[in-house]
Structure 1
């Protein structure tokens, strides 16, 4: 085995998150930091770097590493009413440049409440979002082709956070599927991960398979993004 190859999260990964969520104490976390690093943090770094290699081999244009890809387990409570210091999940992003600032990303979330992966154009900036909505309205066959490819791969666009009314300038889009699509604030597909599956190396194959099936969404967004950047 090469160094850093993902072999599965520790059996105590989820129990650790459950205990952390119960205690929500810096003292408790420091006392159990070794457990956190061994069962969760280090395996997550291995997962990100193993996926980065596999995504490169598959030509997916997504990469990451253990230093830049993982989100902190500490919550930012500066402006939050909820002052609990720790999340009950750990998550990471792999992106075109390896940073968390890019669009068209792979996301993985291992949590007490659920485990899932996603491929997303998540809350893209106004210019890119406008261009995506325009592409839906002016090239409906192309967009429906994307939806068809995703459905064939067992995936559906996420409708979470969808606007209740048509955005300004798109009131003329009346066909139900297109009207729904232009109201999206982001374009994403997700796959639920069985919590029992996080403890084996086979999780990598599952996540690579999901991302390959979600590639049409990446390709669609990148084509639009390329025109926005060129313009």
Structure 2
């Protein structure tokens, strides 16, 4: 699993973010980042599948940055992000997520961005009777220390009225809940799988709400 050497490599990469440095230090990357990430992701995907009863596949986000539309041309990400995506479900189906960097450790659940069908389905739920249950769920999660990012839109989208009672929900293009660690070192150690699953269980009400048909 991830160790202090994982964070040390990511810190060093943030200072020396170049292809030449990365090539020279690739054995460190393979040993302390790539290999443990693959092992952890496979284990967590199986655990999430068992816990939810829904087959999930793992996705590890690439260390290489997409530079096509970015003014920042540094070639590598200095974090580890992975997601656990349900193989099937409604348009709003959520993923579980794990992130580790020298600055943070976080566990998440939800939709980072609804696609067209998912957004339409979410807005239909938010505008209808189910909307009150979603609002209460978010209130309850925040009371438990879960971080809920704010809505992306400044105005309630058409065809809903600007004074819609669930306008805050309708202004969302995504819905995520995050359990933030107190320090990055919480993402290290042989018991990470158990701690990650504990965090995912606490976020499961959001998972189940978005998986509801």
TM-score range, shorter chain: 0.7 to 0.9
Partner of 2:206: 217
Q: Take 2:14 and 2:147, find their aligned partners in 1: how far apart are those partners?
A: 32
The corresponding residue for 2:82 is: 92
Over the aligned positions, Cα root-mean-square deviation in angstroms equals: 2.3
Residue in 2 that maps onto 1:146: 137
Deviation at residue 201 of structure 1 after TM alignment: 2.2
Unpaired runs of at least 5, structure 2: none
> 2:105, 2:180 within 8 Å by CA — same for their partners in 1?
yes
Please give the secondary structure, in 1, of the residue aligned with 2:177: strand
User: In structure 2, how many angstroms separate the alpha carbons of the residues matched to 1:170 and 1:201?
Assistant: 49
Residue 38 of structure 2 contacts residue 60 of structure 2 at CA under 8 Å; is this kept in 1?
yes
Alpha-carbon distance change, 174 to 74 in structure 1, aligned in 2, over 3 angstroms: same
Shift of 1:218: 1.8
1:62–1:106 Cα contact (<8 Å) kept? no
Contact 1:103 1:124 in 2 (8 A): no
The equivalent of 2:16 in structure 1 is 23
Q: Does 1:197 align with 2:186?
A: yes
Mapped partners of 2:161, 2:197: distance in 1: 38
Is 1:157 matched up with 2:168? no
SS at match of 1:214: helix
TM-score normalized by structure 2?
A: 0.86
**Runs of 5+ unmatched residues, structure 1:** 1-7, 225-231
For the residues of structure 2 that align with 1:151 and 1:60, how far apart are their CA atoms?
26
What's the counterpart of residue 128 of structure 1?
Answer: 118
Distance verdict in 2 for CA 1:171–1:43, change over 3 Å: same
Following superposition, the deviation at residue 127 of structure 1 comes to: 2.6
Query: How far, CA to CA, are the matches of 1:60 and 1:156 in structure 2?
Result: 26
The 1:154–1:82 alpha-carbon spacing in structure 2 relative to 1, beyond 3 Å, is closer
C-alpha distance in structure 1 between counterparts of 2:113 and 2:210, whole Å = 13
Write out the 4+ residue segments of structure 1 that deviate beyond 6 Å after TM superposition: none
The CA distance in 1 between the partners of 2:81 and 2:132, in whole Å, is 35
**TM, length-normalised to structure 1:** 0.80
Paired residues of 1:116 and 1:192 also in contact (CA < 8 A): yes
The Cα shift of 1:205 comes to 1.8
- TM-superposed CA distance for 1:83, in Å, is 0.9
Q: Deviations over 1:110-164 (max 9, x none)?
A: 11332212111221122321221221221133324433553565435321x5211
C-alpha distance in 2 between matches for 1:201 and 1:150: 28
Tell me what 2:26 maps to: 33
Q: How many residues align?
A: 208
